[in-house]
Amino acid sequence: MVRRDTAANIDVDIGGTFTDALISWKGKTVAVKTPTTGYNLAIGFMRALQESAEDLGTDVKSLLMETEMIRYSTTVAMNKLLERKGPRLGLLTTRGFEDTILVGKGAQWADGLPVRERRNVARAVRPEPIISRDMIEGVKERIDSNGAIVAPLDEENVQQKVLSLVDRGAQGIVVALLWSYLNPGHERRIRDIIRELFPDCYLGSMPVFLSSEVLPKRFEYTRTMTTVLNAYLHQSLWEETLGMSEEVRTNGYGRSLYLVHNSGGMATAFKTSAVQTYNGGPVAGCLGASFLAGQMGFETVVVADMGGTSFDVSLVEQGRPGSQLAQPLIDRWQVGMAMVETKSIGAGGGSIAWIDESAGRRLEVGPQSAGSMPGPAAYDQGGSEATVTDADFVLGYLNPDYFHGGRIPINLKRARSVIQERIAGPLRLSVEEAAVLIRKVLDARMGSTLFKETALRGYDTRQLTLFACGGAGPTHCCGFGAEARLSQIITFPFSPVFCAFGSSTMDIRHVYEQSYRIQLLKAGGKQWLKDYPSFNGVVKRLQELAQRNIRGEGLPVDRVLYELELDIKFGGQLNIKRTASPRLALQSDDDAKALYEKFVSAYSRAYSPISVFPAGGVEIHNFILHAIVPRPKPELPRYRLQGQTPSETAVKRPRPVYWPEIDDFRQTPVYEEGVLEPGNVIAGPAIIEAPDTTTVVPQGWNYAMNEFRAGIIKKE
C-alpha cells in the first residue's frame, strides 16, 4: 500500500485482544499488532506507535511531529456496556411516560438475542435496564405533536425531581421529553436549571444530556435509549480519548484525534458522541473492503474479520459499503441513529472452549474470550482455559517459534495440558481430537453466520468473493468459507490490521439527522405537494450545523460535499425505505418527481414492485445529511507477475500439521508470505506464514498471489 502524501498518517484500531496500527510515512507503510492493555488502553496504543516508529527507522516524537492525522477506532464502548461499568444515571421525562424505556417496543425481550434464545420464550426475560425505574422521574410539562406548548414547564417541580435523583446517587442526568425534537425549549430550560443548582465550578457539577441534541428524531423510545446509552458510555470514552490525546500531544502531535463513527463517518473527538463510536472498528473494515472492491473490480463482497475476540461480518453491495440498519441495536436496545450494518459474534482466536453439561456434554466455543490478559494458555501468562489459538498450536497450524514474528513466546506444553484437562479428558478424546473438534465447532459457527448474512439476502454464496481479514482470518478462512459454500477467498498483506487499513481509506464525514414529516405526494397519487420551503429549510439547518462543526475542526468549509438521504414511506404502509436523494433542494415538480422515482426504485428492490402504492401518497419522515471532506486515498501498487513456482528463499522448514482430510499429521511445506512473488501458485496442503498471521491452505485448495500481492484461495 502506498500513499503519495509525505506527511505521516496513523490509523489505529483497538480490539479486545490486540491493538492494530497501520502507519504510512514518506512512501513507506508498516503494520504492527501489540497486545491490548485493558487496564490503560493508551499504553498499548503507544507501544504500537513505538514499534511502528522503529520499523520506519525513526522515533515516536519525530514520527508524531510529522503526522497529519491520527484516525482511531475502538471497542471500548462495546466492552464497557457489556461489563455494565458505566455511571449511575437519572432520567427526566414527561410525566406519565416514565416507563417508556422499560416497556420498549413490546418485543424488547427479544432484541439482541440469538435465535436459539428467542425461541425459548418460557425463559425469556427483558434486559436489565441501564437506568432502573427508581431513577426515572416525570416532570410536569407537555408539548404536542406539532411542537406547540400545551402545558408549560413547572420549574419548581423540575428542581424537586433533580434534587431527588441526586440524593439517590445520580452521577449524570438524561433529559428526554415528549416531542422535544420539534421543540427543544423545555429540555434546554431543564439543563439551565440543573446548571444553576450544580454549577460547573463545583465538584458536584452534574453532566446533562438532552435527547433533542443527541438524536433529534421521532419515536421517544429509540430517541431516549440513544441518549441514555450515550450518557452511560460518555465518561469512559472521554477518559480513554483524553489519555490518548495527552500521550500523543506530549510526544509532538499538534492536531486533533479523529474517531471512526458507526455511521461510516469520522470526526474529531470533540465533535463525537460516545454512542457514535460503538462498533466503529468493523464499520471501518467494511469501508476499507468497499475501497478494495473498487480497486480490484468486485461489485459484491462479503467481509469476514476474525480477531482474538470477535468475528465481524459485513457486505459490500454494488461497490458500496453495507446498507444502513433499519432497526439498529446496541447490545439489547434499539437506537434511532444511522449505523452501517455489520454482524458480530463472540468468535475468535481467544474464544474459550467449554463443555455444556446441560446439553448432553456438548462442546461449545465462545462467546467468552481469554482476551489479551491472560490470553490463551499458550501465552503462558496464567491462562487456564482452552482456546482456539491453543488448538491451532497443538495441530501445527501456528508456529510457536514465529508467533507474531517471534515477539510473543509460546508454551506449547501448556496449550496441550489445558486442552487435555478441560476438553479431551472429560470427553474421552485425545488432545489432537479435541483440538480438531474445537476448530470444527468454531468454523461451523462462523460459517453459519456468513451463510445467513448472505444467502438470506438472496445471494448465491457460490458466486461471492470472501475477504478474509483479522489476525486469525487467514488461518480459519477455508474452514468457515467451506461451511458457507464460498469458493473464492482473498487475503491481503494487511489482513491482520484490516480495520486500521479501513480507516485509512475514509473521508472526514459528519452525519446529521432530523425528523420532519413532509407530504411529498398527496393521497391519490396525482398531486405533488409544493411545500418545498419546509423541505429546503430542514436541509439548510443541517448544512449550517455541519458547516459550524467542520469550521470548528479547522477544516475548509468550501471543500465540503453533501449527500442527502431520506426516510420515505407510502401512506397506509408500515415499511420505511431510506433513499438517496438526487437533489439537495426541491424547487419544482420535476425535482419532486425525480425523488419519487428514486424512492420507488429503492422500495421495489427492497419490498417487490407489488408493494408500490402511490394511491396512499408518499411521506418523508427523516432527513439524514452527510457532510464530507474528501481525504487522499492510499493506492494499491501493481506488480509484474512472475513464475508460478515460488523461489527457494520463500521456502521455510516443513513441519508436521494435522489435516482432517487424512485424519493424521503430515509433513507440510511452509512458505514465507513476504518473500512470495506475484504469480506464485501453491497447492494445498500448505502453510504460508507472515509475522502477524498464518494462511492455512488445506488439501484440495490452491493459493495464488495476484498482481496486488493479495492471496487468491480457490477450491480445485
Indicate whether 42 and 136 sit together in one domain: no
CATH assignment at residue 34: 3.30.420.40
- Is position 458 within any domain? no
Q: Residue 617 belongs to what domain range?
A: 509-629
Indicate whether 109 and 197 sit together in one domain: yes
Indicate whether 123 and 209 sit together in one domain: yes
Indicate whether 694 and 558 sit together in one domain: no
Higher pLDDT among residues 79 and 205, named by residue: 205
Q: Longest Cα pair distance anywhere in the chain, in angstroms? A: 83
- Is position 551 within any domain? yes
336: pLDDT confidence band, cut at 50, 70 and 90? confident
Indicate whether 51 and 158 sit together in one domain: no
What is the arithmetic mean of pLDDT over 637-658? 93
Indicate whether 31 and 110 sit together in one domain: no
94: pLDDT confidence band, cut at 50, 70 and 90? very high
- Is position 31 within any domain? yes
Phi, psi torsion values for 116, nearest 5 degrees:
-60, -40
What is the arithmetic mean of pLDDT over 418-444? 94
Indicate whether 91 and 67 sit together in one domain: no
How many independent structural domains does the chain possess? 4
- pLDDT at residue 205 greater than cutoff 80: yes
Which residue blocks in 364-430 are alpha helix, DSSP H?
Answer: 388-394, 412-419, 425-427
Indicate whether 74 and 129 sit together in one domain: no
- Is position 487 within any domain? no
CA distances from 65 to 13, 23, 47, 248, 637 (A): 21, 14, 17, 9, 27
d(CA 716, CA 703): 10
Indicate whether 94 and 114 sit together in one domain: yes
673: pLDDT confidence band, cut at 50, 70 and 90? very high
Residue 20 neighbours by CB under 8 Å, 6+ apart: 12, 13, 14, 31, 32, 33, 48, 496, 497, 499, 500
Q: Which of 10-24, 216-230, 263-277, 369-383 has the highest mean pLDDT?
A: 216-230
- Is position 357 within any domain? no
Q: How confident is the model at residue 480, as a pLDDT?
A: 93
- Is position 360 within any domain? no
Indicate whether 197 and 99 sit together in one domain: yes
- pLDDT at residue 80 greater than cutoff 80: no
How many Cβ atoms sit within 10 Å of the Cβ of residue 418? 23
- Is position 311 within any domain? no
Indicate whether 91 and 225 sit together in one domain: yes
What is the arithmetic mean of pLDDT over 52-60? 90
Percent of the chain with pLDDT over 70: 97
CATH assignment at residue 562: 3.30.1490
Picking from 14, 119, 11, 619, the residue whose alpha carbon sits closest to that of residue 372 is: 14
Q: How confident is the model at residue 279, as a pLDDT?
A: 83
Q: How confident is the model at residue 305, as a pLDDT?
A: 92
C-alpha cell belonging to residue 534: 419546509
C-alpha cell belonging to residue 258: 479523529
What is the arithmetic mean of pLDDT over 577-604? 91
- Is position 304 within any domain? no
Window from 34-38, 107-111, 126-130, 510-514 with minimum mean pLDDT: 107-111
Higher pLDDT among residues 324 and 64, named by residue: 64
Name the pTM for this structure: 0.86
d(CA 396, CA 410): 13
C-alpha cell belonging to residue 492: 491481503
DSSP for 662-697 reads TTEEEEEEEEEGGG--TT-EEESSEEEEETTEEEEE
Q: How confident is the model at residue 3, as a pLDDT?
A: 54
Q: How confident is the model at residue 76, as a pLDDT?
A: 61
d(CA 408, CA 19): 14
Would you mind telling me the total number of residues written for the chain in this entry? 716
- pLDDT at residue 31 greater than cutoff 60: yes
82: pLDDT confidence band, cut at 50, 70 and 90? low
Indicate whether 57 and 142 sit together in one domain: no
How do residues 265-279 score in pLDDT, each as one tens digit?
888 888 888 888 888
